[in-house]
Amino acid sequence: MRVAVTGAAGFVGVNLVERLLGAGHEVTAVDRQAVDTSGANLGGATGVGGDATDDRLRIVVADVMDPAQMRAAVSGAEVVFHLAAKITLKREDPQAWELNTRGVATVAQACLDESVRRLVHCSSVHSFDEHRCGQVMTESSPRSVADDLPVYDRSKYAGERELLAVVERGLDSVICNPTGIFGPKDPPGRISRLNAMVLDGALGRAPASVAGSFDLVDVRDVVDGLILAAEHGRTGENYLMPGEMVTMHDLLTVAARTAGRRAPLVAVPLGVVKGILPMAEPIGAAFGSDVMSASAIEHLLASPCVDGGKARAGLGYAPRPFTDTVRDLVAYFVQAGILAERGRSLVRT
């Protein structure tokens, strides 16, 4: 089968491209950055991901905001996986809003124009309002429309609305909503926030943690879910794809013990964390990062249980335990030479 993947040089993209090639598909890997012909940007630098010498892999440098480039990129594809997005914890970010909304509309219209059989859109759990859904989030929970929500949350739901408008004009598309994604084969040099947190634990440089929790899912399970959605998902419907609810303290402790390092000694109570909300944005701005932000803290404070029953029953989705992911991620850090890196932040800003 001929498949196209946008955002192919990103974390999920690297893993998806590798899986699709392994299954014998012809893959067009689309990304706005120039993908190294050695395959380094697809994970090739560490012996993982797609091999750019594989004649079943076509690498295309294109901007998802450009209609003509997108039509050319998806031309001939039977299935397109749209992964390209900008993740941010900022309250406002015009670039994130444009990419996560107009970018989705552009890709969707290109797929319709080029008669793509199905578009699988990788959205996010954050397109659902975690602050107003109660203790359990399902596909019928309130959506992220409130003005007080971070731009990422609002933009992901707005992007889904853009997509559904094209579905009404005849596009076959399904929407996947994974939770916090972590796991092996993160492109070196651009490690994700969650993977960087596990790395801190594995290095033993997290003397304390926070008593909050969040749902984490293995990137390989997300890839499975996306492929299952392409095969079995219902047109125009959402599928939440959770993994396991994990406390930050447990995540850091398992990472430290897996690597033979010292685990965090204490978990800071959520009441204390909540008290620094007014100072979070100035602190983050001072360090040039959105990791310390009101949005990040509010995510920890909300923490609803995400119900993945629809994906399990309808798609056959079956995520693994988080401890298996931590074990494999620490092994990947060692293999890729990342675990030896010390003394600097590896978190994307």
Taking the C-alpha atoms of residue 30 and residue 19, their distance in angstroms, rounded to an integer, is 16
More confident residue, 34 or 304: 304
How confident is the model over 238-259, as a mean pLDDT?
A: 96
Q: Which tokens go with 72?
A: 């050319």
SS3 content of the chain, % helix, strand, coil (to 5): 40, 15, 40
DSSP 291-322: SSSHHHHHHHHH-PEE--HHHHHHH---PPPH
How confident is the model over 78-86, as a mean pLDDT?
A: 99
pLDDT interval class at 346 (50, 70, 90): very low
Return the SS3 of 330: helix
Q: Which of 48-57, 83-92, 270-279, 287-296 has the lowest mean pLDDT?
A: 287-296
More confident residue, 277 or 171: 171
pLDDT attached to residue 45: 35
pLDDT attached to residue 277: 59
Helices marked H in 114-183 — which ranges?
A: 151-167
pLDDT attached to residue 345: 39
Share of the chain above pLDDT 70, in %: 84
- Per residue in 164-197, pLDDT (tens digit) is 999 999 999 999 999 999 999 987 778 898 999 9
Q: What domains lie within the chain, and their CATH numbers?
A: 2-182+217-243+304-319 (3.40.50.720)
pLDDT attached to residue 189: 75
pLDDT interval class at 343 (50, 70, 90): very low
Could you tell me which residues come within 8 angstroms of residue 225 by beta carbon, excluding any fewer than 6 positions away? 176, 178, 239, 241, 311, 315, 317
pLDDT attached to residue 302: 79
Mean pLDDT taken over the chain: 88
